[in-house]
Structure 1
Amino acid sequence: MSKVERRVRSLVTEDGEMRDALETVLDRATDGEVQWVDVRDEITSGQWGRLIEKEVLVDGETGFALADREGIEAGLSDDGSSGGGGDVETPETTSWTKWDKLAALATVGAFVGYAVPPVRNVIAGAIDLVLGPLIELVPFYVIIMVIALGTGLYSTLLRAGLMDMEKMSQYQDRMKDIQERRKEAKERDDQEALDAIQEEQMDAMGDQLGMFKEQFRPMVWIMFLTIPAFLWMFWVIGYRGSDPAYPAIAAQELVVPLAGTVTWDAGLVGPIQMWIVWYFLCSMAFTQLVQKSLNISMSPSSS
């Protein structure tokens, strides 16, 4: 069903007189275009405005052109007209590539590192080749800020590159369209339309899965890159710091507002340690800064 056909069915369901108005417009159209002066004796200005508002009529060369004559005629047919149908198309579900699936598998494997020492030592040891020398050069809170800046940068770029905001908008628009038509059908006490919309709403439940897949795809890659760095910080604070050959990071003291003097492994918010709180505060701040600097919006825009 085309977008124009959905819109025509919606118009006819909302107002039965729109059928006559649409038939008049089709009859008076010449070379696919029609002007207000051609139909003003047959339809009201309100009906004309609704056709333009719903983009059944669009700008033409000399007047208004029929957006899709075949779609309009199909929308006026009796088949399925009781259901109303929305004017928002259902977006295609995003398919994950083999690389997305491999990244998801690797992410699950990295999670194991928190509980399995050999895995933790391998992953954290590899990251330590890059970040380890910084411990001798700068304070640990600066290293966390650098990690947070890096994660904020690539998480923003990955979400912008992998998450289709247009599809997200289509998912939201479709759900909004169904809710609006359901409300209008209740106001008209149109039980037949309500039943049809209810069936459409059940079919649209798949949109929730589609939205989840859109949102989770970049999250897989973000976690794939972030977990190793997070695991390294966890390793440095809780394990490497106990080795006399390395600086005792966990025992370092710092002064924070409200909490006073604490160490990196102190529970600042319940069991959540100070280094985790500092990382998330820096990550949130740098992520917002990166989004503003690059003018990247992470919210889908509804039409």
Structure 2
Amino acid sequence: MSEPQLASLLEEPAMRDAIAVVFERSDGGREELQWADVRNALSSDQWGRLIRTGTLVEGSSGFAIADPDRIQRALEERDQGSEPDENGDEIEAEPWAWYDKAVGLTALAFFMGYWNTGIRNTVASFDDLVLAPITDVLPFYAVIILLAIVTGLYSTVLQARLTNTEKLQAYQKRMNDLQERQKAAKERGDDEALERIREEQMAAAGDQLGMFKLQFRPMVWIMLLTIPVFLWLRWKVRGGHLGSGETGLVVPLAGAVSWQDPLVGPMATWIVWYFLCSMASRQLIRKTLAIQPASPSS
């Protein structure tokens, strides 16, 4: 059996557990095994693969491990590497810098503006200093399109630049590996392996928090810029700050609707229009800039 073949087998959670079972039940490779000795822990396909790859070789009364020392070293290295990522390094939690925390607190304060009139009016008034000249030139529906494009642009760019995709993939790979091994152990009815996997899952409980921190960091920066825009739109529509001619839109099927009329369920027309423009602009921006959505599996 070549080194690449062994490495390939060990990459598969089910086969890694199968090799561990065979090694254990053969007393570290000193005894030969029959299929009956492991049939309660291995599938026939796994047993066959171990023979086909040369991991097990035919002996005088059964099958023996071809190179017990190499198998032992490989299993020990894998056991020691159950916590590290695919490169053998530990996945260190990425701490937030002080400015990330400051941005998070500021975004939270802006978020309170959805319920607090004072915060909403203060933020919207500052926004209006910048946006008022634009509203004087463009109709309100076009202003919403422009804002959706701008927010879509910086949201997409910030998401791509601030998300540590490699660490997210390492977290996801570790969790998927544990889930696959757990599933394989349940199918075999291997209680010992299940107990070991549960211990590993408890030790890796911090992965969920680490993933959340990685995913939420770009979100607070996006919220810092997006929430004030949304508060200004709400202030503009519901606060009676629209021009006399800015009544609403003509929508297919619904006809002429005002900006405050519910259009999709309880959602007002201006909210639906903003979200539609925002989603469309983000898709276009991603394709134009060749930016893939950040996700653990990407």
Shared fold per TM-score greater than 0.5: yes
Q: Among the aligned pairs, what percent are the same residue? A: 46
What is the match of residue 101 of structure 1?
101
**Counterparts of 2:296 and 2:74 in 1: how far apart (Å)?**
30
Superposition map of 1:43-58 within 5 A: 46-47=53-54
Per the normalisation by structure 2, the TM-score is 0.73
Return closer, same or farther for 1:113/1:13 CA change in 2, 3 Å cut-off. Answer: closer
One-letter code aligned to 1:110: F
What is the match of residue 61 of structure 1?
none
**Counterparts of 1:274 and 1:114 in 2: how far apart (Å)?**
17
Instruction: Tell whether 2:17 aligns with 1:13.
Output: yes
Is 1:91–1:170's contact at 8 Å kept on the other side of the alignment?
yes
What is the match of residue 73 of structure 2?
73
What is the match of residue 199 of structure 2?
199
Return closer, same or farther for 1:159/1:255 CA change in 2, 3 Å cut-off. Answer: same
What is the match of residue 65 of structure 1?
none
Task: Report the Cα offset of residue 216 of structure 1.
Answer: 0.8
One-letter code aligned to 1:91: I
Deviations 1:23-79 (A, max 9, x none): 9xxxxxxxxxxxxxxxxxxx965147xxxxxxxxxxxxxxxxxxxx999737349xx
Task: Report the Cα offset of residue 188 of structure 1.
Answer: 3.0
Return closer, same or farther for 1:258/1:228 CA change in 2, 3 Å cut-off. Answer: same
Deviations 1:192-239 (A, max 9, x none): 111010111223332222111111111101010011111111111111
Structure 1 segments of 4+ aligned residues over 4 angstroms from their partners:
7-12, 16-20, 69-72, 83-90
What secondary structure is seen at the aligned counterpart in 1 of 2:221?
helix
One-letter code aligned to 1:46: T
RMSD: 3.4
What secondary structure is seen at the aligned counterpart in 2 of 1:297?
coil
Is 1:9–1:84's contact at 8 Å kept on the other side of the alignment?
no
One-letter code aligned to 1:14: A
Task: Report the Cα offset of residue 186 of structure 1.
Answer: 2.4
What is the match of residue 284 of structure 1?
279
What secondary structure is seen at the aligned counterpart in 1 of 2:208?
helix
**Counterparts of 2:152 and 2:71 in 1: how far apart (Å)?**
46
What secondary structure is seen at the aligned counterpart in 2 of 1:113?
helix
Is 1:8–1:76's contact at 8 Å kept on the other side of the alignment?
no
Instruction: Tell whether 2:288 aligns with 1:293.
Output: yes
How many residues are paired up? 251
User: After the TM superposition, which of the residue ranges 100-109 and 199-208 deviates more from structure 2?
Assistant: 199-208
What secondary structure is seen at the aligned counterpart in 1 of 2:249?
strand
Deviations 1:237-291 (A, max 9, x none): 11142xxxx6247x61321012111011111123311000000001011111111
Is 1:14–1:184's contact at 8 Å kept on the other side of the alignment?
no
Superposition map of 1:256-275 within 5 A: 256-275=251-270
Runs of 5+ in structure 2 lacking a partner?
1-6, 30-49, 56-68
**Counterparts of 2:258 and 2:279 in 1: how far apart (Å)?**
22
Per the normalisation by structure 1, the TM-score is 0.72
**Counterparts of 1:118 and 1:234 in 2: how far apart (Å)?**
13
One-letter code aligned to 2:219: M
Instruction: Tell whether 2:135 aligns with 1:135.
Output: yes
Runs of 5+ in structure 1 lacking a partner?
24-42, 49-68
Return closer, same or farther for 1:191/1:161 CA change in 2, 3 Å cut-off. Answer: same
One-letter code aligned to 2:179: Q
Task: Report the Cα offset of residue 153 of structure 1.
Answer: 0.6
What is the match of residue 247 of structure 1?
243
**Counterparts of 1:159 and 1:104 in 2: how far apart (Å)?**
15
Task: Report the Cα offset of residue 113 of structure 1.
Answer: 2.4
Is 1:264–1:273's contact at 8 Å kept on the other side of the alignment?
yes
